[in-house]
Structure 1
């Protein structure tokens, strides 16, 4: 895929014949299972796992299902994004927890958790953000105290926890050193969710009417000592390593979805006559060009030429791009954008069409996953070498 990189970091892209064979296999499997009987998300994860489509590339360590190069992982992610199949509920375990355990976990931890993820049997969520520590993750206040029975007792609150209402486990960043501040004294713990009376999950209703995010309350929840990843007090290092995996392959798959949304907006603009406006046409073309640039940039990153701060640049680009697309989707529809697809009622006040959902949900794109302000600070301090912001 990556051919002829010069000293000027010029990279040519293409897929090999072997990659295209892999693409055909992936596309055929997805087509055969589109609209199949396992449409619920948990059941779908087990179908994926049974046929070897979770944990591509882990096979070398004996924990995954099948061997696949990084390029083939891109191929699978792109074909999945194009297919008419359920959205994933196991991606946090596969794309975030698993690479973290491979990098920082013990053999016992890998053997216990990776096969269950690869089979689609255990789902995960991420316990990072808190009411007072959202974008500023070093402000975590959730505590984990070592007890005499071989466990930690976790107490505190996490928020904006994606898919916690479906998860079996949560990886939690907690403070294990009394009196520690900032990134010191933090540890990375694996905590089972099914602890009645000790863990409460409360869905957060969003503007879209859906509840992908949750509040999670820990009241002395148990985490086994052997489920401490990376050693006590090394949580910041592990947490930052995990965030480094939240890029690349998943970003490229996300862009396939963006492209489908853009095509729908263009169709709507043509049908409504909005495309006759030269300003609207310019915005549509600009959106297409910017999306292509984001794709080439993501491919360049996978090619090994990543510059410092590249994830922050990518997040800033796609977050603002997607918000603008949501705004453009409303504009091309005109007055109809404010009308529901059917009469709204007290029972179902949020029956949104896809464009309305795109507009409302994309309001959060510049906030979750690291706000634009935080990304710009990282770029300024770590890439441009500008003076650091005063820390209060």
Structure 2
């Protein structure tokens, strides 16, 4: 991630009351008696993320976006809980620091974790800095870490009640269809067409596990010296218990350059040979986990549907002047191509 210095007239980064945060830090760390410095980190398209320096402490703070439009999203306690549960399991996450659900402190609930130094590969320009061999290993390591997450027993880490895995896929379809109605800035028959096709192709329930919900390369922090090493998986706001193959489907959607306007940067596959194809990623996951991927077209189509709704929601916030930072003006352009790609994934056809 890169940082920006978008600030309010009072000098705090937009969306964050630094004097109020300093008081909270003083209560969290009684021996602390110094200044708190904060800056907004660019890279997120949903929750706002800040780098925090408080004396010797180096943290990351996340809070919901300005003008949240979808009531079930941006649950900071949920995100913090799964990170705290996974810390120490071998799944790489940032060490938890503290959670504040009192909106009166900075105007919104927020979570704080340790800052993880590393690099984030977000764009073709970032990917060009690593070799073709490193790109291949980096991508396969990304799949390995996803498989490791899915192997964690939720009960063993205190997440038995973290979600309702029964009926997960049907609820996902209902949720994202209803969220479209909340955020839609346009009318299109593509939404109902894809939704109906997904309902008709709903696969039988399989084993459940911890689902990240938005798994992709730039939601990981890689080691600066060895991009094969994932130092932390981040952005857990959509995590729950459910069908792990939904994560694989979502990863493959982000591997498709059709997602480029959502990411706001040139897609990593452009001009950078050496990365595995989406099919090769899926094959590696199947080899690593032994999972049956016969219903993978459904999971990919669900991922396209979900990302289209997410993109429409961000686009709606952008039109309302409720986004912070840059790179938001292209997101609305992704919605219709994503819906078409979802329909094509179910039929095995290529999109134009």
TM-score, scaled to structure 2: 0.26
Greater helix content? 1
Greater Rg by CA: 1
TM-score, scaled to structure 1: 0.24
